[in-house]
Structure 1
Amino acid sequence: MDRRQFLGGMAAVGAGAAGLGSALPAQAADVVIGLSNGYFGSEWRDQMVAGAQAQFDMYKSEGKASKLIVQQAGADINQQIQDVRNMILQGVSVITMDPNSGTALDSVINEAKRSGIPVIAFDQAVKNPYALSITVNHYTWATRYADWVAKTLNGKGKVVVMDGIPGNPAAETRRRAAHDVFAKYPGIEIVWSGYGYWDQAKAQNVMATVIAAQPQIDGAFVEDSMGLGVLRAFQNARRPIPVMTAEAQKAFLLAWKKELAGGTNMQAFAQPNPPDISRNAIGVAVRLAAGRKLKPQPDNTVYYPIHLEVTRDNLDQTLAGMKDKPDSYFLAEWFSEQQLDALFT
C-alpha cells in the first residue's frame, strides 16, 4: 500500500478543504506508529509516554496496529528533527510528536509530507499546514489561571509569573496569556516573570531567589508540576503562601490539603494539562492508518476541552479518586473512543 494515499490533500486541510484523504485499510502488521517526544525528564512527560503506550497497546490487542516507536530528544530541536527523520527513513505509518517548537520542525515535517507519512503534533501545536495538531488551548488554559489569581486578589497585589521552558510554544503562549490578563487590572503589578523549566526542584530554587528579592508576593501564576516547588519555596522561607495556581498533581494537592489542615487558609486553583492527551494522538494515528478520513478541522487543529478543575470545594473528592495513584500522578482526561470516532467521516 502506498502511504502517500493517507493524506492526499493534507496541506489543503489547513485552508479548510474537505479533509484527510482516505486510504485502503492497512494490515495490523504494517501499522507502525512513531512518537517523537521533545523535552523529557519530568513526571508529566513520563505519564504522557506511558499513556501513549497504554493506548497503543489497547489497539494492538484489538489487532489494529503492530508497533510503537518512541524517541526522546530532550529540549534539543536538532535532535528531534533527526529523530523524526529516522522515523521517515524507517517508513513508519504515522508520526506523532510533542514538538519542541511550533516552527523549527517545518523542514522535517515537509520531508514526511514528501514521503506521504501523516504527522500529528500533540500537546503543542505546530504551524505547518501539513501536520494536524491536537492540543488544549493553552491561551485559554492560562487565562483561566490568571483570571482566578486576579479576581481572588480583588484586582490588587504583587504577583509573580513562572512559566516552563523559554521558547517552548506552550510555555510562551501561557506566559503571554498571563501578562495579557494581568494588564487588564491596574492594581496588579508583576514583580517578577521567569521560568522554572517544568521541573519541581528548579522551580523551587528559582522561587527561593525571587522570594529573597521580593518582600511582598501576593499571588503566583504557576503552571504544571512547578507548583509544588513554588509552594515548598514559600514554606522554607517561612513566608505567607500567596494565592497560587498549579497543575492538578497528587503531590501538590496533598500538600495543599496539609496546609489547610494546619490552618493556613491556603487559596489555590488547579486544572489538568492532561499528559494523556497523547492518547488522543495515538487514537487518531491508528484510525488514519486504517484508512479513515478526518473531518475538516478549523486551523487544522483539534482542541481538547478541559472539563476538570480542583478547588477547595472538591479537593478531598479529587484526592479520593487518586488514592491508588502515586504522588507523581497528574489528573488525567482524554477523548473516549466514541469521541475519537466522531472526528472522522
Structure 2
Amino acid sequence: MKRIVSKSMLVRAVMAGAAVVAVSLTASGSANALSNCIKGDRKAPYSVGWANIYSVPTWMKQTEGTITAEVDELKKAGLVKDLMITDAQGNAQTQIQQIQSMIDANLDAIIVEAGSSTALDRVISDACAKGIAVVNFDSLVDTNNLTAKINTDSNEWGSSAAKWLIEKLGGKGKIIVMNGPAGISVSDDRRKGAQPVLDANPDIKIITETNTEYNVAPAQEAMTSLLFANPEIDGILSLGGALSAGSVLAFDRQGREQVPITGENARQFLELWKEKGLKSWATMQPNWLGALSVYAAVQALEGKDVPAFVKVPLPVIDDSNIDGYLAKAGDFPADGYIYSPYDKALFDKLLAQ
C-alpha cells in the first residue's frame, strides 16, 4: 500500500530533522559557546599554558604544584596533553610577551596570575578573540574579555581583618598596616577593603604602612625599620601570611612585646602564633585556586557553562581551629602555606554557583 505524505507531515519531518541536527551540533562544537571566548575546532586532549608573573614566593611554588597535579589528573582522563609554564620574574611586559607566545602557539587554554591589573588587558582580550579559554585567578585583570575570573573576595579579606583587629583593640590604638606589593590587585583590593572599616573607627590611628614582597625576609626587614621609628605600636594589620611571620620575627628580635596581628595561613606564621601565644586571626587564599583554574578552563573547552566569576569562600582561622591546621603542617613546606583539601567534587560545586 502506497503511503501518502501530506505537506504538513513533510514540514514536521523537516523540522524534526533540523532539531536533531541542532542537538547534534550542540553536543559537539556549538556547546562551546556556553562559556566566553570558546570557539573554533578545539578538541581534547588540550594544550594548556600557565602564565605566571613570578615563581619565587613559596605560595607560587605551591600553587604551581596544584596546577601540575591537576594537569596530571586531566591527562589520565584524556583531556589534556601538555602544559607550558612561563615565569615573567615580576615584569608585566615580559608576561605580555609570554602570553603572546602562547597565543602564537595556538594553545587551547591560558591560565593567568596577573602582574598588572591593567597592562595585560589587550593581550588577554586577543587570546579570547582567538577562541582560547582564558582563566585568571588570584591577582586579577580589569578586562572581562576572558572566560572566567576565580578568586576569594579580597575586599572582604581586608574588611574582615580590620574588623577583627579593631575589636581586639577595643576600638582605639596605634597600628601599622603591612601590604603586599603595590599594583598587584590582590594586595590593593585587600587594602581597599580595610579602608571603610578604618574610616568608621577614627580612634584607630595608622602610624605608617609599608608594601613588601610576600616573603618573610623582606617583611621582617621592613618591620625592623618601622620598630626603630615607632616606639608605641598597639596592633598590626597585616594583609598577608609571610608579612605576618616577618613582623612577629622582627618584634621578637627587637625584644618588643608582641601585639595583636592579623594574617594568613602561612605555616611559619601559624607555628609562631601557637608557640608565642599570639592574639591573632587569619584567613586563606587557597593555593588550589590554580588547580581550579585549569579544571574550569577544560570544562569550558568541553562545552560546559563556566561562570564569568567564581567566588571561593574565605575560611577563618582562629584559636578554635588553629590546631587542626597545624596537625597537617608536616605535609607542607616550612615556608609554605597550609591550605585546605580540594577535589573534583569541590570544584564542581564552586563552578555550579
Q: Which band: TM-score by shorter chain?
A: 0.7 to 0.9
Pairing 1:288–2:300 present: yes
Task: Please point out which of 58, 79, 84 is paired with 1:69.
Answer: 84
Q: Given residue 172 of structure 1, which amino acid in structure 2 is its aligned partner? A: D
Q: Which amino acid aligns with 1:207?
A: M
1:309-338: CA deviation from partner (whole Å, max 9, x where unpaired): 221222223211323333223122376423
Q: Call closer, same or farther: CA 1:314–1:113 in 2, change over 3 Å.
A: closer
Is 1:215 matched up with 2:222?
Answer: no
Structure 1 residue 339: Cα displacement: 4.1
Q: CA deviation at 1:89?
A: 0.6
Q: Which residue of the partner structure matches residue 311 of structure 2? A: 303
How many angstroms apart in 2 are the aligned matches of 1:69 and 1:6? 26
Residue 125 (1) aligns with residue 140 (2): yes
Distance 2:222 2:264 in 1: 18
Distance 2:167 2:70 in 1: 39
Structure 1 counterpart of 2:280 = 268
1:50, distance to aligned residue in structure 2 (A): 0.8
Which residue, 224, 238, 252 being the options, matches 1:235? 252
Structure 1 residues 147 and 179, CA, compared in 2 at 3 Å: closer, same or farther? Answer: same
- Conserved in 1, the CA contact under 8 Å of 2:35 and 2:304? no
Distance 1:199 1:173, change over 3 A: same
Kept after mapping to 1: 8 A contact 2:38/2:132: no
Check whether the contact 1:7–1:116 (CA below 8 A) recurs between aligned residues: no
CA contact (8 A) 2:103 2:127 kept: yes
Q: Name the residue aligned to 1:176.
A: 192
Q: 1:21 to 1:325 in 2, by over 3 A?
A: closer
1:14 is matched with which residue? Answer: none
| Structure 1 unpaired stretches of 5+ | 12-19, 261-265
User: Taking structure 1 as reference, are residues 249 and 52 closer, same or farther at Cα in structure 2, changes over 3 Å only?
Assistant: same
Query: What pairs with 1:47-196 in structure 2 (closer than 5 Å)?
Result: 47-131=62-146, 132-196=148-212
Structure 2: where are the runs of 5+ without partners?
1-28
Cross-structure match for 1:244: 261
SS of 1:323 mapped into structure 2: helix
Counterpart-to-counterpart distance in 1, 2:168 and 2:266: 22
Alignment-derived partner of residue 243 in structure 2: 226
Give 1:21 deviation, angstroms: 5.7
CA contact (8 A) 1:6 1:288 kept: no
Structure 1 stretch 88-97 or stretch 335-344: which is displaced more?
335-344
Instruction: Give the residue type in structure 2 aligned to 1:229.
Output: G
Cα distance per residue 1:30-63 (max 9 Å; x no partner):
x011110113311111111111111111111222
Aligned position for 1:42? 57
Residues 292, 344 of structure 1: 8 Å contact kept = no
Cα distance change on mapping 1:256 and 1:149 into 2, 3 Å = same
The equivalent position to 1:328 in structure 2, one of 329, 335, 348, is 335
Q: 1:259 corresponds to which residue?
A: 276
Using the TM superposition, give the Cα deviation of residue 8 of structure 1 relative to its aligned residue in structure 2, in angstroms: 4.3
Q: Look at both structures and tell me which one has the larger radius of gyration over its CA atoms.
A: 2
How far the C-alpha of 1:77 sits from its partner, in A, is 0.7
Q: Specify whether residues 324 and 113 from structure 1 end up closer, same or farther in structure 2 by C-alpha distance, changes over 3 A only.
A: closer
TM superposition score normalised by structure 1: 0.87
Task: Report the AA paired with residue 317 of structure 1.
Answer: G
Deviations 1:174-198 (A, max 9, x none): 1122232112112100001111221
Query: For residues 32 and 143 of structure 2, what CA distance do their matches in structure 1 show?
Result: 14
Q: 1:312 maps to what in 2?
A: 319
Task: Give the Cα–Cα distance (whole angstroms) in 2 for the partners of residues 301 and 271 of structure 1.
Answer: 21
Q: CA deviation at 1:22?
A: 7.5
Partner-residue secondary structure (3-state), 1:333: coil
What letter corresponds to residue 329 of structure 2 in structure 1?
Answer: M
1:138-163 CA deviation, whole Å, 9 max, x = no partner?
Answer: 00011111111110001011011111
TM-score, length basis structure 2: 0.85
The alignment partner of 2:65 has SS state of helix
One-letter identity of the residue aligned with 1:60: K
Look up the equivalent residue of 1:333 and give its one-letter code. Answer: S
Question: Mean Cα displacement is larger for which, 334-343 or 236-245?
Answer: 334-343
